[in-house]
Amino acid sequence: MTTLSPGGTAVGPRKVRRATMNDVARLAGVSIKTVSRVVNDEPGVHPSTAERVLAAIDQLGFRRNLSARNLRRGSSTGTIGLVLEDVGNPFYSGVTRAVEEIARLRGRQVISGSSDEDPGRERELALEFCSRRVDGLLIVPAGLQHSYLVPEMRAGTPVVFLDRPAGDVVADTVLVDNIGGTIEAVTHLAAHGHHRIAFLGDAPDIFTANERLRGYREGCVRAGIGYHEELVVMGPHDEHTVTSALRRLQHGREPATALVAGNNRITVHVLRALAGAAERPALVGFDDFELADLLSPPVTVIAHDASALGKAATDLLFARLDGDNSPPRRVVLPVRLVPRGSGEVRA
């Protein structure tokens, strides 16, 4: 790491008090209310007066204090709170982007935070956002207890849950079709002749992981290949656990010839574990990911759209802000199987 001293227009170290409307008013020789009128484009200000005011604003570098404004107006703070699992995860950053996009169209800023799957952290973030009087809250729930939000919701802050439902509160929720997706994955593999299909899922206390497990089971039953517990490996996964799970699944008495991976992270771990392996089981991953089509073989996935998820949730939120009082809705977004090769291997 190198440190250089740059050249150019420097900003003096002298720290100046920030100008207020009062300062502007004094400089322009008008009352503070007139400044307010100019700043807010209210009518009834003589053009020449407005010009003087604008000049003063420019000279002082005045910028109106939104804290004060929000306090006085009491209504909207122009912010949306977004609590997700991890902004660094491409899936959630896609969601974030979509949320930001729509918020922008509606003149709102997004404040976001990562819960890291920790219910306490989620709560802390959500309540912090409420203290900031966000206009609405979008939450990817980490736990199952959300009654702490009831006072906020009663006070008029709309809340939409994303990707997973809340535990003990009824509110708008946007999900993807986890069960349908995994059923389709299993059906697809079975149609290619596999009857020993394994499932690697995330920790079963995570809603989506559990749903996908249910879909897997249902898929097995429908395909007539039966549900075999020894083919399921749940739990928080890292590269190591996935590798050893795979070894076990592939080398038992009746080895698995196909695999369903429960989310994008697990899929990547599987790919890494299988890299260079002589015999590769057929694979379908839940969640699409970039470059899946460029791997060899290309990875077949159950795809769903992060930005669609973000958009649906944000639309729902703004509908509430626009006064929609209808009962809470649960929206389930479709998924689709994208066959690319890795899932079309014949048993």
Partner DNA sequence: CCGCCTGGGGACAACGTTGTCATAGTGGCG
Partner DNA sequence: CGCCACTATGACAACGTTGTCCCCAGGCGG
Residues 33-62 that bind a copy of itself (CB under 8 A): 60-61
Taking CA atoms, 253 is separated from 149, 216, 231, in Å, by 51, 22, 12
Please name the helix (run of DSSP H) or strand (run of DSSP E) that holds residue 286, with its range, or none. strand 282-286
In which element (H, E) is residue 308 found? helix 306-321
Minimum distance, C-beta of residue 12 to a copy of itself, in the bound complex (Å): 7
Residues 6+ positions from 23 with CB-CB distance below 8 Å? 60, 62
Total residues interacting with DNA, rule: CB under 7 A: 28
CA 260 to CA 342: how far, in whole Å? 11
**Angstrom distances, CA of residue 154 to CA of 83, 169, 173:** 19, 12, 17
Amino acid at 147: S
**Please, how many CA atoms are within 13 Å of residue 241, restricted to the half-sphere of its CB?**
13
Asked if 36 is part of the footprint of DNA (rule: CB under 7 A), the reply reads: yes
Which among 163-171, 188-196, 252-260, 335-343 is the span making contact with a copy of itself, rule CB under 8 A? 163-171
List 55, 58, 59, 71, residue binding DNA (CB under 7 A): 71
Of 156 and 255, which CB lies nearer to DNA in the complex structure?
Answer: 156
Tokens 């009491």 locate to: 74
CB atoms within 10 A of CB 36: 17
272 lines the binding site for a copy of itself (CB under 8 A): yes
- Hey, which bits of 125-273 come out as E strands? 136-139, 159-162, 172-176, 197-200, 232-233, 258-261
Is residue 46 involved in binding DNA (CB under 7 A)?
A: yes
Residue 36 interacts, among DNA, a copy of itself, none and using kind-specific CB cut-offs from 5 to 8 Å, with DNA
Interface with a copy of itself (CB under 8 A), residue total 91
Question: Closest approach of Cβ 227 to a copy of itself, in Å?
Answer: 25
Helix (H) or strand (E) holding 79: strand 79-84
Which residues in the 91-120 window bind a copy of itself by CB under 8 A?
92-94, 96-97, 100, 104, 109-114
Q: Based on CB atoms, which residue is closest to DNA, 59 or 65?
A: 65
Do 195 and 225 touch, CB atoms closer than 8 A? Answer: yes
Measure the CA–CA gap between 187 and 219, rounded to whole angstroms: 6
How many other C-beta atoms are found inside a 10 Å radius of the C-beta of residue 41?
8
Identify which of 130, 126, 133, 127 has the alpha carbon closest to the alpha carbon of residue 161: 126
From the CB of 151, what's the least distance to a copy of itself, in Å?
Answer: 3
| Binder among 225, 321, 333, 337 for a copy of itself (CB under 8 A) | 333
CA-closest candidate to residue 66, choices 54, 75, 56: 75
The residue among 5 and 48 lying less far from a copy of itself, judged by its C-beta, is 5
Instruction: Between 119 and 195, name the residue whose CB sits nearer to a copy of itself.
Output: 119
- Tell me: does residue 73 bind DNA (CB under 7 A): yes
Stretch that binds DNA, among 36-44, 122-130, 149-157, 232-240 (CB under 7 A): 36-44
Indicate which of a copy of itself, DNA, none lies near residue 49 (CB less than 5 to 8 Å, by partner kind): DNA
Q: Which of 52, 123, 133, 340 binds a copy of itself (CB under 8 A)?
A: 133
The minimum distance between CB 20 and DNA, in angstroms, equals 4
Interaction residues for a copy of itself, span 273-332 (CB under 8 A): 275, 289-291, 294-296, 307, 312, 325, 327-332
Contact residues toward DNA (CB under 7 A) are 18, 20-22, 29-34, 36-37, 39-40, 43-46, 49, 62, 64-65, 68-69, 71-74
